[in-house]
Chains A and B, each alone.
Chain A
Amino acid sequence: MSVLWRFPSVLMAWRNLGRNRVRTALAALGIIIGVMAIASLGMASVALQQQASSQLGSLTNQVSLSAGDDLTTDGLTDDQIAEIERIATDATVVPQKTDSTELTSRTGASARVSVTGVTNADALYDVSAGDSPTRLTAGALVTNSTARQLGLEIGDPVEYDGRLYRVRGLVESDSGFGPGGGRGELVLPLSALSDQQYYDSVTVVAADGDAASELADELDAHFNTDDETDVRVQSYANAQQSISGFMDTLQTALLGIGGISLVVASVAILNVMLMSVIERRGEIGVLRAVGIRRGEVLRMILTEAAFLGGVGGLAGALGSLAVGLVIFHLLAGDAAGALQWASAQYLLYGLAFAVVASTLSGFYPAWKAANESPVEALRG
């Protein structure tokens, strides 16, 4: 207490707030809700953004090419592959032939899968079990989900086009984006699909999203004109850009909603402070009569408002931290993400906003109290 005496406004504000605890608690609750709205929504949008970009992450550095509407052949030719390789010197070019088939297990279970013939499979697939061949010349890879469905293990045979291939690795299921997403996949050497003369698609794996985007433009300009599309060029870097643009919009909208609730809370503080000042009219008259200056009365009331904002804001920030941990646990699968500056900054913004908004709300009541004539105020 002795330290508080050096800050009389703080002491008086603290004691005044303690007089009507229910009212103080309710006013602070408004602020808590406002801060939790703004901080939790801010953190949620960060979690969404992180989750979206991590899902897209593996695709954003890829450019995918396939036969365009004006191509005369039924797929990309060896010559075209050579041209692509000539243009994309710094990237890995992965030509693919695709088909689909029905896989049947020994127990009689069956699954419809896409078949991809590819040589450098490791550029496209993450192998979770078995070996990861840099050049797939024999054997097969299947997606985890298909293996589970059919009870396949490494070393088991699968049949395609009358020939048997031994499963040598399991690959991660595709996340549902891009070619062949969702369905199970059987990855075979290109030779398995030698019946097909042309390539159905070519994936170019670049160093990063920017390089992929540039490469896509270059390839598009090389193969196509304004009227004729020989090769369809698709880059997911653009998709990521538009998704993060959308995320920014979403974030602004969420913060706006949070902001509105904090504005509502500060109107509640304005109301509470005004009522409290009107109730204490006589008391403030006594303060003025015994020589307390107008500025001192103003500071005392403003401190009360700032206290409400600070206490409410602090409680709200703690609550939001808990909410943030839950959100990150659910959306990103890692609760610790909430503690990173990218999301934790919203706790600070919420707290600062609460203190500033409450203090601003205190101005009118404080001004009113300070400028009341002491004679009128003492009369009650």
Chain B
Amino acid sequence: MSVVELESVVKRYEGGAETVVALKGVDFHAERGELVVVTGPSGSGKSTMLNVIGLLDSPTEGRVSLDGRDVTDFSEDERTEERRSELGFVFQNFHLLPMLTAVENVELPSMWDTGVDRRERAVDLLKRVGLGDRLEHTPDELSGGQQQRVAIARALINAPDVLLADEPTGNLDQATGRTILDEMTRLKEEENVAIVAITHDEQLANYADRVVRIVDGVVQ
């Protein structure tokens, strides 16, 4: 059973005069321990697909399942719970909170969970991405590569099933990008998590178990 599954997903944006169809019946799946890279030109619909998988956006038609459960018609609050426990996000611009230290940023998704202390796991994750000596640094004291590693640790704090990455190496030089990809490849096995990454980066495709190309809202 696939941990993520899209079946005939259509996403239409009603925009006044014209209607934009971003996804035209997409089928997609990803398994645990697998790195799937989604490529395609700008405006092909790959970001929309990532948002649908990440439960940030709901499809107009079709079906979305997480770990075999149909989550298509989940309410905003139910989707928030799924994002918190089953999904992790890594963004192109890292999106760390500037007023929190590295370890606090990693703890962020579990911060409001009462009676749960994730400090130990946060420290462990940061050590595993090579930032054991940067725990109390704030994002402006970290390099781009270090910030992205903090972001990866944050995405894994609640032990999700799926990690979604939007251009994870887009703001990094090639060498740094490579270390991030090494990190992600290692962690997907250690954490047994499915990684879905969208990218323009050819390099990333080399690390992929599978590459899905999407053009004009259709998987090729």
Contact = CB atoms under 8 A, between A and B. Distances in A.
Interface in B30-58: 51, 54, 56-57
A374 interface: yes
B8 interface: no
Contacts of B80: 288, 291-294
A19 B89 CA distance: 25
Given A18-B99, A19-B99, A292 B109 contact: yes
Contact of B109 (A283, A290, A374, A378): A290
A208 interface: no
Interface string A1-40: 0000000110110011011000000000000000000000
A289 interface: yes
For chain A, give the interface size range. 20 to 34
A283 B98 CA distance: 9
A372 to B, nearest CB: 11
A289 B89 contact: yes
B85 A291 contact: yes
Nearest to A283: B97
Contacts of B76: 294
Contacts of B84: 290-293
Contacts of A12: 111
B108 interface: yes
A282 interface: yes
B189 interface: no
A16 B112 contact: no
Interface of B: 51, 54, 56-57, 76-77, 80-85, 87-89, 91, 95, 97-100, 108-109, 111-112, 154-155, 158
Given A289-B83, A290-B84, 17 more contacts: A16-B99, A19-B99, A283-B95, A283-B97, A288-B80, A290-B83, A290-B109, A290-B154, A290-B155, A291-B82, A292-B84, A293-B77, A293-B81, A293-B112, A296-B112, A375-B57, A378-B95
25 contacts: A8-B111, A9-B112, A15-B100, A286-B91, A286-B97, A287-B97, A289-B83, A290-B83, A290-B89, A290-B108, A290-B155, A291-B81, A291-B82, A291-B83, A291-B85, A291-B87, A291-B158, A292-B108, A292-B112, A293-B81, A294-B76, A294-B80, A375-B51, A378-B56, A378-B91
